[in-house]
Amino acid sequence: MAFRVKVSFCLILFLSFSSFFFVQGVFNYRDALEKSIMFFEGQRSGKLPPNQRISWRGNSGLSDGSLAKVDLTGGYYDAGDNIKFNFPMAYTTTMISWNTIEYGKRMGPQLQNARAAIRWATDYFLKCANAAPNKLFVGVGDPNADHKCWERPEDMDTVRSVYYVSPSNPGSDVAGEMAAALAAASLVFRSVDPVYSKKLLGNAVKVFRFAVQYRGTYSDSLGSAACPFYCSYSGYKDELYWGAAWLLRATNDISYLNFINTLGANDVPDLFSWDNKYAGAHVLMARRSVVGNDNRFDSFRQHAEDFICKILPNSPYSSTQYTKGGLIYKLPEDNLQYVTSITSLLTTYAKYMASKKRTINCGNLLVTEKTIRSLAKRQVDYILGNNPMKMSYMVGYGTNYPRRVHHRGSSLPSLARHPQSFGCDGGFQPFYYTANANPNILVGAIVGGPNPNDFFRDERADYSHSEPATYINAAFVGPLAYFGSSKR
């Protein structure tokens, strides 16, 4: 897991309709969808189920929570490390859930796998929310100790420190995001497992109440356990907004709208990520204006459309930079996380617009849902191989994909091949520093992506470009389902 530090970057603007880099490719979106969801099985912590498809992974973290005398087994490792950070994990869960709500009917046989991926996280969040009174557990594993090691999750011998927020050490951001995840997931399970859905929603309400009552950033409360890894750079107001928006969607309780209106959160950023939720909340809330014709939500629709005008390359309000190959380029570390998250919002808003044949204006530019859909498809196709490198940035998709992924489990021989433990630093030589390909294919993993010149080195040590992460994949599930379906 790389440090997630915000850095400004100057790039050459992309000419939006250049055909040179966008030779029409034929991609199997359904195959990519299957792989993108399978990736989460490679990130599982805890006791693995009999139907585990990524077979080189084994049980891990079976004593998680024991230092606090609670059970915190389960959940996901966020990226190429062996830490469980609830802040990005909850965002991941919210995004898979949202994409499943929007596109579940287009997922075909992958719908069941998407639900399983969501449930693996929500079962863990239920433990985190109920393990001890007045404590919300938000992480397991000392990130500073873990990053000194290169070992399989099955071999972990670093301290499994337990982190929580409480009334005296608040974390409105992580609590707000966990509430969003539980609320969104409750909608996924509402018709197929109503008892579980009700449990998720009840806990979402409880966790959100905690977030509102005890306000503060978890970065301040946890210090070096959160920063510089997943600092809450944008503060906690966006997570309160996001959590309330999801609770409104799940409960239809208008008090959540009233709460949002008290926040004064009118920021319209030009990105969307595990840290900054404003754009996602605006699109989510805009649905009631665009699809539901509810004028109480018109301001959110305007914010959502202002966001889109900041993304479109030929918009007079565009503040988004593109590589020469046509890829959205926001930040130099793990740029594809921003690409997939933004693309998810583009396809979802295009879907809303299509349902009402709505158009929008960015200054004197008329924007249709086809305009937005076209840009989203360009990003999807770029990731799958329609790029200057002719490389798929999804591991296991196509024939030319990253082979030296920055990921401990993938880069080390499996337990079946090497039953003996490697120990904390046993994996560096010869496995981390070798130029050989990883022995285990982390199917479906999307890496951080190319540099601003559309170049990818495929080096394990280049973590800002070669490390996969759950939140990159989570946002990509929806666009793949969208373009993999004949329905628009």
Task: Decide if 181 contacts 122 (C-beta within 8 A).
Answer: yes
The span from the CA of 205 to the CA of 260, in Å, is 15
Structure-token match 């080189």, residue found: 56
DSSP state of 394: B
Q: Which residues contact 32 (CB under 8 A, 6 or more apart)?
A: 384, 394, 397, 480, 484
Give the angle subtended at the CA of 8 by the CAs of 5 and 12, to the nearest 5°.
135
**How far is it, in rounded angstroms, from Cα 241 to Cα 228?**
24
Name the catalytic one among 146, 334, 381, 406. Answer: 406
Which DSSP helix (H) or strand (E) runs through 288?
Answer: helix 278-290
Please give the C-alpha separations between residue 283 and each of 286, 346, 404, 426, in angstroms, as whole numbers: 5, 9, 36, 47
Residue 34: active-site member: no
**Residue 82 CA, distance from chain mean position:** 17
Q: Look at residue 1 and give its three-state secondary structure.
A: coil
- Tokens, residue 379: 């990003």
Residue 465 catalytic? no
75: nearest Cα among 84, 66, 87: 84
Distance CA 443, CA 11 (A): 31
Out of 142, 282, 458, 465, the active site residue is: 458
**Cβ pair 104, 37 in contact under 8 A:** no
Dihedral (CA of 227, 230, 233, 234) sign: negative
102 annotated active-site: no
Cβ neighbours around 391 below 10 Å, total: 23
SS3 329: strand
CA distances from 317 to 10, 200, 261, 359, 364 (A): 17, 40, 26, 17, 10
Q: Does the N-terminal peptide bond of residue 430 adopt cis geometry, omega within 30 degrees of 0? A: yes
Catalytic positions, written as ranges: 406, 458, 467
